[in-house]
Every structure is written in C-alpha cells, then in structure tokens.
Amino acid sequence: MKKKLKIVGISLLILVALLIASPFIFQSQIKDMVRNYINESVNAKVTFDDVDLSFIRSFPQANVTLDNLTITNFAPFKNDTLAKVQSLSLDMSIKELFKNATEEPIIVNSIAIDNALVNLKTNKEGAVNWDIAKASDTPTTDNNSSSDGFVFDIENYSITNSAFNYLDETNNTIFKITNLNHSGNGTFSGDTSELDTKTEANVTFSMEDTEYLSNNSLKLDALIDLDLPNNKYTFKENKALINDLPLEFKGYVQLIEAGQAIDITFENPGSTFKDFLAVIPKTYAKNLDNVDTTGNFKINGVIKGESTETTIPTLDINIVSNNASFKFADLPKRVENININVEIKNNNGLVDDTYVAINTLDFKIDQDQFKSSATIKNLTKNMLVNANLDGVLNLANLTKAYPIELENELKGILKAKLNTSFDMNAIETNAYERIKNNGSVSVSDFVFSSADIVNPINISKASINFNPGTITLDNFIATTGQTDLNAIGSINNLLGFLLSDKKLEGNFNVKSNVFKISDFMIEGGSKAPINQSAEPATALKIPAFLDCTITADAKTVYYDNLILKDVKGSLKIANETAQLNNVTSSIFNGNLSLEGLVDTKTTKPTFNMNVGAKNFDIAQSFNDLNLLQALAPITKALQGKLNSSINLSGTLGEDFTPLLNTISGDALAELITTQIQPKNEQLFSLLESKLNFLDFSKLDLKDLKTKLSFNDGQVSVKPFDIKYKDIKMTVGGSHTFSNTMNYQVVLDVPAKYLGTEVNNLINKINDAAVNDIKIPVTATISGNTLKPQVTTDLTSGVKNLTSQLIEIEKQKLINKGKDKLTDVVGNILGGNKPKDSTSTQSNGGVKDVLGNILNGNNTPKDTTKTTNDKPKDQVKDAIKGLFGKKDK
C-alpha cells in the first residue's frame, strides 16, 4: 500500500513538474505558431509584447495569452489603429499544442478579451478599415473554420472593460460603446444550440449631427437559439434596460445572402409614467425612487423586413402618454398635463422614407402651459422639419420641478408662438427663401450667468420677430454690472446657428449710456498691468461662432483707468477677429480715432492699429496712458496740446492691452501751444544746472513736430530742431521701454552766453563780427528717466573759444598798428612836411628810416648823426608809440 501511495505521489509530482516546466518547453513553438498565423492571415501590421503559455491557469486545458496586441492598418488607413488589446487569452486542449498549424487546424474552445479598444471606420470613398483578412487559396466548407490555422469551437467567451467605436464618413454616422462587459456560454449539440449572453455598456449614437443616444446605459440578458444550418438566431427570453426603462423583446435575426432578415417586436412591460423618466440619462434623471407620478406611458414597436444595401426593415414605433404628471419629493413644483404622442415610421423599407412625427408634446408648470408639435422627414439626407411652438415657460421653474443641475443660474419668462418650416440644406447654404418662419419669441427678466463673465447678464426685455426670409431683433434691453445695453438688428441664420455648426450672422445697432470693459472681463483681467512683461497663461478669445457687424454709440466708456466720451464706430466680428472702423471718441479734452484689427485666432492675441490723437491735453494723456509714457517718458513735464498719429502692432495681454515688449511701429507727433514745467522733470533741472544760460520754462515748443519709431522694446527719435532765444538745439537718440536713455542735444551757443571771461574778451575786442561767433555744445543724456545722467563738453568749448578770441584781439591790435603807421607814412609821402623841415635831404632820410623799419633793418647804414637827425627821431618815436613801446 505504501509502495502504491509512493508511486502515486511520485507520479503526481512528475505531473506537476511537467505542468510547470512544459510552458517553457513550448514557449518558442507557440510564439512561432501565433506569429506565422498572423502573417498568413492579415494585411496589417500586428505587434505584441509576449506570448504566455500556462497549463495551470485553465487546467486541464492549456492557456495561451498575448499581451498588448496592436493591429495597425495599411493604406488607405495607413497608421490608423484598428485594435489594441491589453490581454487576449485562448483556451484549448493540451493536445492541440502538438499539432502543426500549417497541416491541421488548432481547435480553440474559449476566448477572453480584456481592455480592448476597437476602431472601425468607413471612409468617404466607402472603403472599410476592418477588411484585412488575406484571401484563402483553398475554400473551406466548415462554418466554424476561420482559416487553416485555427478552428473556433467556442464553449464560452468574454469581453471585459472594453470600448468600440464606429465612424461612417459617408453619412456622418457615429456609434460608440464604452464600458463594455459582455459574456456568453452555451450548450452545443449538433445543428441546434442555445447561447446565454449578458451585456452591460454605455451607448452613444448620432447621425448627421443629430445625437439620438447620449451615453445611455444599456443592459441586456438574452437567451438565443442558434440554428446554425439556417443561420437563424431566435430571441427566447430577453430583457433589456435602457437607462432604467425595462424592455422585453422577441423575434429573430436570420443571415441571408443579401443581408439580414429581421422580425422583432418589443414593449415596456409596465405602463407608468416613471418608465418615461427612466429613459432620461442618469446624469440628469438622478434618483427616481422619490418621484411621484400619475398617468401612463407606453412604448412598443415592430421592426420587420430585410436589411440590405438598399433597404431597411419597416418600422412602426409608438410612444404615448396621456394626462401624466410627476413631482420629486424634495422639489416644490409639479409638472402636469403631460401629453406625448410620438411615432417613428417607415412603411416601405426605403431609408429615405423614415420619419418622426411628434404629434403632441405638451406640459404645464404652475399656470404656464407649453405646447409643441413637429414632423421630421427624410432623416438620412436633406432632413425636412416643420415645427410649432406655442406657450409660456418660466425658466426658473425648470430646476424647481426637475432635479437637473445647471452650471449657471437660469431665470426669466420665455414666450413663444412660432411656426417654422425648413430643410437642412437650406440652412447650411443660407438659402433663406426655403426657410419659412412666422411668429415671435420673447424673453423678459432673463438672467444668465457663466464662469466666463464677471457679472450675470440681466435681460429685462428681448424679442425676436420671425418673418419669411428675415429674423429681426426688435429690442434687447439688458444690463451687466454697471453696463447698460440697448440693441436692435437683424439675424440672418438663427436656425443655422441653433441646429448646425453655422455661425451667428447679423447686423446690430447697440447703444449704451455706460459701458465698462471690466464688466465683460474674467476676474482679475482688468487688474493686469498695462506694461506686462510676460504673456498670460490664458487669453480672451473673440467667439468663433460670431460673424456680425455692430454699430456702436456709447455715451461713456470705462476702459481700465480711462474715461472715453461719445464713443462711436463700427465693429466687424468674424473668424475670431474684430475689425474696428471709424471709431471716434472724446478723451483728454481732445478727440481720439481708431482703425485696426484685433486677432485672437492664435494662442497669443495680436493687434495692428492706427491711432489718431487731436488736441490731446499732454499732461493728462501722458499721465493716464502708459503707452504714451513709454513712447515719450519726459513729456509729463509738458503742458499744452498734442496732435499725433501712431501706427503700432504687437501682442495683447489678458486684459486686451499691449504687451510693450512686443510692439513695433512709428509715430508722428505735433506739439501745439506747449510749455515746459522743469520742476516736474529731473532731467530738465540737470540740464539747466549744466547749461546755466538755459531756462526751460521760457522754451517755446509750439508747432514742434517729431517722428518716432519703435521695435523690440526700443524707441528711436529722429533728430528734430527747437529754438531757445537765439540758440538752435538739435535733439535725437533713443530709449527703451524699461526707461534706459541714450540721447544727445547739440546746441549752437552764441559766445555771449559762455561766461564773464569770454564776455570781457568780446567787449575789449568790440567788434560786431565777434558777437556772431557760435560754438556747438553737446549734452549727452544717459541713465533712466527716474535717475538721469547729463554730461556736456561746455568746458572744452569755452576754452577753445577763449583761445580764438585772444588770437582775434592780437590780430586786431597788429592790424590797428599797421593802419596808424600807414596814415603817418601817407602824410609824409604825400608832402605834408614837418614844420621844422628845411631841406629835401630830410625827406630822403625819413624814407630810408621807414624803409629800414618796414624791411626789418633796425639800424640805418649811416650811423653818423647829422644835423637833420631830429625828424628821424620823431618818426621813430611815433612808430614806437603805435606799438605801445615808447621810451621812458
């Protein structure tokens, strides 16, 4: 006995060892088998991380698991991901591992898929991305065979935590299944089998931009008879939940050569109105346990016929409720007199002849009765709509009667009496002649709030009048914050905006007594400094859905710290841009004009603007406008009027003011009746201390014109001339927006302003020509506007001028001596003899002496004195006297 137990134990040990070791033995073989099967089966790029073989996980069967399987399409869907599967697990008999997949098929008994994402797509040309199977050279007769490599004899299968997406670009159909958990198992005996399935998922379905299911919860338990020889699948005991609406259905689906033959009927087993509330998505339905309902609700339908490339099954679906009501226990309002009669029909199997008839959709809250009806035809092509609205609705009662959570508060009274008839193509192509509207819609005491605006918008009255071909905004009276608005206008395509992705087009005239920009800004936006050095994390956007022209007339506009009066102009909004045309205003006791463009299509909003200023008060405008301070920082010391034209472009900050380090452009400025108050500017005081002959308070800047250019944060000033008394001054240079300066002022200074020493020299010379002498003096301005630095070359200039004046005086004295000598010589040579002259010999002696002196010969050849030496001495003394060198 012990020996037998020992043998059994050893056998079990060997078996367990084999079960553990075998996967390592077969691992390589399995990988090659899977890789070869994939390569031979599909036209797509298939990758996987690893293949794992286990005899323990699904004992007594073998388990093969692929990790991170990815299938990527070739052209025409190149690089599109068809499927991603985190785990694909196959169970099969151990003996199947010993087969050669190229010679005999491997039978798979179970499949488990976890965390899969499948993307199916039909492009505009009708090609599909899932047609990746390679054509087989040898036809198969076994319906269960998928290829020569594998045969699927499924006993059970499961799909967990997966998703499925389908997009058909030919008709813009989108079908999504998320949170999919599906399993099936059955008993299979010969030609007939029974499959038991369980499914949970969320379903979204839309067609031609109309969403019919929006993430609706779906549960389905279905017992299905499988008639494999006839490809017929019959639903036996079936229950479904759409959200919380229970449905029971029966019938069959059979595969035929042209497609599928379908015969299914369904209905909700109960008939209370709570079943209708259960259809609403749970996100909005909340808890239905505490709702009290009266009245009935019934949904039933028949889907019967063939689904082929040209036909669909006929449809006869009815939704009916009569005199129903509901009230949630924790809400104050009851919704009553609810009547619903909706039909979804198709009588001939042609998809274009499917229609929805909303014969009745009425309800009442308090005393407000609302009625509506509509028919919708030609659903899959150019949809035709005819709708009627008639009633009153207090919007505030919506949240008081139904537990819906709105992001923003909603208040106001809506009144509508409207009939509209149109086709979707007319809306998309703006064919207004095919859009028939009659009636009106109005709201009063409407309150709208949003996270995108600082203050709620209070619409005291607004009414829209619908006429064939035109929609007019008869009035719009509203306030937000301290801003008031009064508008009228016309709207071209309101239905296109509401029912499709068309832009809201129109023309509006807007008037306002007080308009504050900050009332429309996100909180904190108006507080950002105008000279921001960094771009904002998020910027304001001009709405992409607007395509309109606004003519504005505002009495007072508050923009940051500015007050603009009588603002008029037009604003064209389109494609996320705003074009300002002929905008005028009164500000700084002058007139402002604006022309330009603001563009918010890009991440950072940009602008390009022409700004005109006429008769601006300089002190006030430069004190309040940081942009002007940045362009001309020292102007705060000026008093008077300014005319200017500025062209600038750059990037806007979050409060729609320019980021100074991004702007570029140029400006032309003209000063009118302008004076300087040096005490208001340290720079002028420094200049006066360096050049004490200047008094800037007496400087006349009237009619001064100058041109500026700016780029990359630097302002360049083209040299311009100004005059102070009889001094010409030429100013030029540059500064940065961070107030670093580099300027030069060149002064042509008359000599008379250059000190006592210079003036004494001028007076001694006593010559008019000397009074006209001017020297250039250069004052260099550096540092910044808060702490300027001034240097001049005045000292060297005065020194050079003094040397010049001394030389002039010397030359003048020399010339004066020559003139006196000439006069004496002229008298002598002209016959004017001295009174004591008695002989002609004397004349000759004088001539000789004069000749010697003029020729530089100080000593006459004849050194012997004669009796006639007296006249010579007189001449000699006279000449010495001319040069200030008389003998003592």
| Predicted pLDDT of residue 864 | 45
Place of tokens 């002209």: 830
* Count helices and strands in the chain by DSSP H and E runs: 14, 38
The residue type found at 610 is: N
Asked if residue 147 lies in contact with residue 106, where contact means CB atoms within 8 angstroms, the answer is no
Residue 261 in any domain: the answer is no
| Predicted pLDDT of residue 761 | 67
Separation of alpha carbons 410 and 392, rounded Å: 15
Instruction: Enter the pTM of the model.
Output: 0.58
DSSP states of 112-181: EEEEEEEEEEE-TTS-BTT--BPPPSS----TTB-SSSEEEEEEEEEEEEEEEEEEETTTTEEEEEEEEE
| Predicted pLDDT of residue 176 | 92
| Predicted pLDDT of residue 830 | 56
Asked if residue 440 lies in contact with residue 467, where contact means CB atoms within 8 angstroms, the answer is no
DSSP states of 371-429: EEEEEEE-TTSS-EEEEEEEEEEEGGGHHHHS----SS-EEEEEEEEEEEEEEHHHHHT
The verdict on 636 and 703 lying in the same domain is: yes
Q: Residue 841: count other Cβ atoms within 10 Å of its Cβ.
A: 12
Asked if residue 851 lies in contact with residue 877, where contact means CB atoms within 8 angstroms, the answer is no
DSSP states of 830-871: TT---TT---HHHHHHHHHHHHHHHTT--S-S--S--TTHHH
Residue 430 in any domain: the answer is yes
The verdict on 626 and 659 lying in the same domain is: yes
| Predicted pLDDT of residue 442 | 93
Closest by alpha carbon to 219, among 236, 194, 202, 196?
202
The residue type found at 140 is: T
Residue 456 in any domain: the answer is yes
Residue 313 in any domain: the answer is no
The verdict on 503 and 542 lying in the same domain is: no
Closest by alpha carbon to 219, among 286, 284, 278, 154?
278
Q: Record the tokens describing residue 593, joined without a space.
A: 């004009």
The verdict on 473 and 515 lying in the same domain is: yes
| Predicted pLDDT of residue 313 | 92
Place of tokens 């067609």: 207
Domain hosting residue 81, numbered range: 1-131+145-170
Q: Record the tokens describing residue 215, joined without a space.
A: 């993430």
Q: Residue 767: count other Cβ atoms within 10 Å of its Cβ.
A: 13
Closest by alpha carbon to 503, among 428, 609, 431?
428
Burial class (CB in 10 A: 0-12, 13-18, 19+), 212: exposed
Asked if residue 706 lies in contact with residue 719, where contact means CB atoms within 8 angstroms, the answer is no
Closest by alpha carbon to 490, among 476, 480, 500?
476
**Torsion over CA: 554, 560, 563, 569 (sign):** negative
Q: Record the tokens describing residue 508, joined without a space.
A: 């509006």
The verdict on 548 and 651 lying in the same domain is: yes
The verdict on 586 and 705 lying in the same domain is: yes
Asked if residue 251 lies in contact with residue 260, where contact means CB atoms within 8 angstroms, the answer is no
The verdict on 557 and 693 lying in the same domain is: yes
The verdict on 578 and 669 lying in the same domain is: yes
Mean pLDDT, consecutive 10-residue stretches, the chain (888 aa), reads 47 43 52 68 82 66 82 88 88 66 65 90 86 64 45 75 89 88 76 82 79 79 84 85 83 87 89 80 65 90 89 92 91 93 92 91 92 89 90 90 77 91 81 83 84 77 84 91 92 73 84 85 43 42 82 88 88 88 89 89 86 82 73 69 86 77 85 65 79 79 81 85 85 85 88 73 65 81 85 80 74 69 60 48 49 49 47 48 42
Query: In total, how many domains does the chain have?
Result: 5
Residue 255 in any domain: the answer is no
Task: Spell out the residues 6+ positions from residue 235 whose beta carbon is closer than 8 angstroms to its own.
Answer: 222, 223, 224, 249, 250, 251, 252, 264
The verdict on 669 and 547 lying in the same domain is: yes
The verdict on 594 and 701 lying in the same domain is: yes
The verdict on 429 and 471 lying in the same domain is: yes
Bridge partners of residue 338, in order along the sequence: 324
User: Could you give the 3-state DSSP secondary structure of residue 784?
Assistant: strand
The verdict on 41 and 90 lying in the same domain is: yes
Residue 322 in any domain: the answer is no
DSSP states of 601-659: SSSS-EEEEEEEEEEEEHHHHHHH-HHHHHHSGGGGGEEEEEEEEEEEEEEB-TTS-B-
| Predicted pLDDT of residue 479 | 93
Q: Which of 520, 554, 572 is the last residue of a domain?
A: 520
| Predicted pLDDT of residue 863 | 45
Categorise residue 229: left if φ over 0, alpha if ψ from -120 to 50, beta otherwise. Answer: alpha
Separation of alpha carbons 388 and 441, rounded Å: 12
Asked if residue 725 lies in contact with residue 749, where contact means CB atoms within 8 angstroms, the answer is no
Separation of alpha carbons 463 and 341, rounded Å: 30
Measured CA distances, 539 to 521, 600, 627, 664, 690 (Å): 10, 8, 20, 21, 49
Q: Which of 697, 723, 749 is the last residue of a domain?
A: 723
Residue 804 in any domain: the answer is yes
Residue 839 in any domain: the answer is yes
Q: Which of 691, 723, 755 is the last residue of a domain?
A: 723
